[in-house]
Amino acid sequence: GENNAPRVGLVILNYNGAWVLKGLFESLDRILYPNLKVFFIDNHSTDSSMQFVENYLPKFPLDVTVNDSNLLFSGGNNVGIRKAIDWNADYVMLLNNDTIVPPELIGSMVDFLESRPDAGIAGPLIHFKEPPGTIWSAGGKVSTWWGIVRHRGIREKDTGQFSSAEKMDYVSGCALIARRRVFERIGLLDEKFPMYYEDTDFCFRAKKAGFECWYVPSEPLIHLVSFSAGGQLSKFKIGRRFRSGMRFFASHARFYQWPTILLGQIYEIVRVALMVLTGKIGRSEKTDA
């Protein structure tokens, strides 16, 4: 029944995401999980986000915090993680604001983690909104030799190729659920990674502490990032991504992997820049930080 279900604190960070909140909140209204509280953290938006939230009548328990400044992805999410832990959540789930959540997704994540005591972190199947049926992420892989971090399955047509649970290097912070015990053991997101690599770093620290990180097949979560984007691109963002990448590999790779990591990071920057130049991906902005 209601009360034996583990408590899930769902942390949603918003920055100028007014345009996505209606779709998100309507999907949250349909969630079937019986023991959920949503911690909505606004990162000092300058749009009509808070007007929307204040006028919405949610069918789910909602706790709203407005930060005095933009604390970026890690800092903003950490405010919500602390609140969820204070509320005594058994699990904390991070969710991007530009998503549509299927009704059974949270239940299937919790069921999986309840059945696998060694699994500390899990992430679902995530699709692009357009074109329908296209994968954005089915877990993630990291090469500490080449310094490359990739979503598994990105831009592939979903033909059911990721229909079984698998252990991963990391899962995307777009939708990541972790046991409270993981945060108690390793701490929160590392604010030295204000954007980019904070999810990868968190999963790597968890693995060092003995927790497994799993991809769990699910009804696809829809992510409103544009297919042509991945949304990553301005000089500022490429620079920030490079710095975060170097910081991540400094923490988690061996010194003798550094020459190839440098090559891998340069390769990634060139690859992304070429995709922008050839119009394969646009310069659209993400709304999470």
Peptide bond before 131: cis, by omega within 30 degrees of 0? yes
Q: Which CATH number does the domain housing residue 207 bear?
A: 3.90.550.60
What pLDDT does 238 receive?
75
* pLDDT band, residue 154 (cuts 50/70/90): very high
103 part of a folded domain: yes
What pLDDT does 289 receive?
38
258 part of a folded domain: no
Provide mean pLDDT across the span 201-205.
Answer: 97
What pLDDT does 228 receive?
57
Q: Output 91 or 274, whichever has higher pLDDT.
A: 91
Provide mean pLDDT across the span 263-269.
Answer: 86
79 part of a folded domain: yes
What pLDDT does 44 receive?
97
179 part of a folded domain: yes
268 part of a folded domain: no
276 part of a folded domain: no
* pLDDT band, residue 87 (cuts 50/70/90): very high
pLDDT in tens, 19-62: 999 999 999 999 999 999 999 999 999 999 999 999 999 999 99
The 3-state secondary structure of the chain reads CHHHCCCEEEEEEECCCHHHHHHHHHHHHCCCCCCEEEEEEECCCCCCHHHHHHHCCCCCCEEEEECCCCCHHHHHHHHHHHHHHHCCCCEEEEEECCEECCCCHHHHHHHHHHHCCCEEEEECCEEECCCCCEEEECCEEEECCCCEEEECCCCCECCCCCCCCEECCECCCCEEEEEHHHHHHHCCCCCCCCCCCHHHHHHHHHHHCCCEEEECCCCCEEECCCCCCCCCCCHHHHHHHHHHHHHHHHHHCCHHHHHHHHHHHHHHHHHHHHHHHCCCCCCCCCCCC
Provide mean pLDDT across the span 224-237.
Answer: 62
**pTM greater than 0.75:** yes
Provide mean pLDDT across the span 232-251.
Answer: 79
193 part of a folded domain: yes
The range of the structural domain enclosing residue 221 comes to 2-227
Provide mean pLDDT across the span 220-235.
Answer: 70
270 part of a folded domain: no
Q: Which range in 10-19, 136-145, 224-233 is most confidently predicted, on average pLDDT? A: 10-19
Provide mean pLDDT across the span 254-281.
Answer: 83
Please count the structural domains in the chain. 1
